[in-house]
Amino acid sequence: MRAMALLAVIVVMLSGVPISAVNTGTVPLSKVPLGAAAAILMDVASGEIMHSRNIHAKLPPASLTKIMTALLAAESGKLDAVVTVSPRAVEVEPRNIWLSPGENITLQHLIYGLLLRSGNDAALAIAYFLAGGVEAFAAMMNERAKELGAVNTHFTNPHGLPDVTHFSTAHDLALMARALLHVSFLRRVVATTRYRAPWENRPYQRIWHNTNRLLQLMPGADGIKTGWTRAAGRCLASSATRQGWQLLAIVLDSSDHYGESRALLEWGFTYYRRVVIIERGLYMGAVRVRGGEPAALGAVTAEELSWVAPRGHSLQVSTAVHLPHDLRPPIAAGSVIGELSVAVGTREVGSVPLIADQAAYPTSWLRRALHRANLYLRFLHRALLTLP
């Protein structure tokens, strides 16, 4: 199938600043004095890095490890499954949510205990349930990390307690946190300040309060996970949303993990802005339909694509439309029929599916015969008009 490419250039003007200044990271950070060993600020929708400091330094992640544990648990599709707590899951200290050997609790409740109370026992219960043991679960964690592009990470356990071969980076943890925020269930969990869970064989429930105090300290804060060990220092994966725009930050080994995280997030909202560079439903061309009605379909963008830029800077956006030369019916409305590649400056930043704006159906043999007869009669008519 041949492909047709159409190149378009769109300039999203935020001001008249030259395009060479786009996303250079030159917005001053003088008002954000960071003492963390490593830090990163990222736009959740696009994955664009807005600020970085030692983001590839391999450091102990403490309980930020549990971001990956929660991601694997949620992606297992077994949220309603009942987990019988392994005796080995309660041998860890501190236990945090006080699981008992043989206790029955759903995987969903374990994830709440894992992320709100940083349950080391919850982490081990999840590992034994999903993989049969810590070593096998750590292998799953490392494999998923690589799939996300977190190539400077090595996990040996599901909770983050110290191990010299257990490490990650601010950049890798941001990739994992971004993946977590793209799972609606986990997004709800990390934004929860208080949660009740059943406690088997007890007349009362467990009540868990989120250890992440940023949820109370910062307007719009909605995640993600705290962490601390003596080796790792204070760590925080955080997120906040303003007017539908979500940013995430990671700080590792910080003496003021809440203050520095809030400062980073506020800096991002203040000095950057979110720009919709591709609108949903944008018409990008037509494709012929062979033997169908209608004879052509419009190709429109299936979703919007946004990017971030420093306030006062302009974006140069180029798009390439990839559509087939023709299509054969039947074609349902909304079917993916092509792709729009999008670049900012010289860098490709994403793609948007192109979908059919309406349905197309095969024409009947009678209708095709009448159409051909009509074309033949028109030909004869034109020929007769040319006779002397």
Helix H or strand E segment including 298: strand 296-301
Q: Following CA atoms 216, 218, 222, 224 in sequence, which dihedral angle do they give, to the nearest 10 degrees?
A: -80
Count of C-beta atoms within a 10 Å radius of residue 314 = 20
Q: Which listed residue (15, 31, 52, 63) is catalytic?
A: 63
- Which residue in 178, 214, 164 sits closest to 49, CA to CA? 178
* Distance of alpha carbon 73 from alpha carbon 184, whole angstroms: 13
What whole-number distance in Å separates Cα of residue 189 and Cα of residue 114? 10
Q: What does DSSP say about strands 245-254 and 38-43: parallel, antiparallel, or unpaired?
A: antiparallel
Residue 270 near residue 50, CB atoms below 8 Å = no
Among candidate residues 46, 86, 118, 238, the one labeled active-site is 118
Helix or strand (DSSP H, E) at 143? helix 134-147
Q: What does the H/E/C string look like for 301-349?
A: ECCCEEEEEECCCCEEEEEEEEEECEECCCECCCCEEEEEEEEECCEEE
Is 78 tagged catalytic? no
Specify the DSSP class assigned to residue 171: H
Relative to beta strand 326-327, strand 283-289 is parallel
173 closest CA partner among 312, 40, 23: 40
| DSSP three-state, residue 350 | strand
225 flagged as catalytic: no
Is position 318 annotated as part of the catalytic site? no
Whether the CB-CB separation of 313 and 14 falls below 8 Å is answered with: yes
Please classify residue 93 by burial: count the beta carbons closer than 10 Å to its beta carbon, then call 0-12 exposed, 13-18 middle and 19+ buried.
Answer: exposed
d(CA 129, CA 141): 14
- The dihedral built from the CA positions of residue 275, 277, 280 and 282, taken in this order, carries a sign that is positive
Catalytically annotated residue among 46, 66, 86, 314: 66
Q: How many CB atoms lie within 10 A of CB 82?
A: 11
Distance CA 4, CA 199 (A): 61
Q: Which single residue is written with the structure tokens 């197309």?
A: 360
For the annotated catalytic residues, the residue numbers are 63, 66, 118
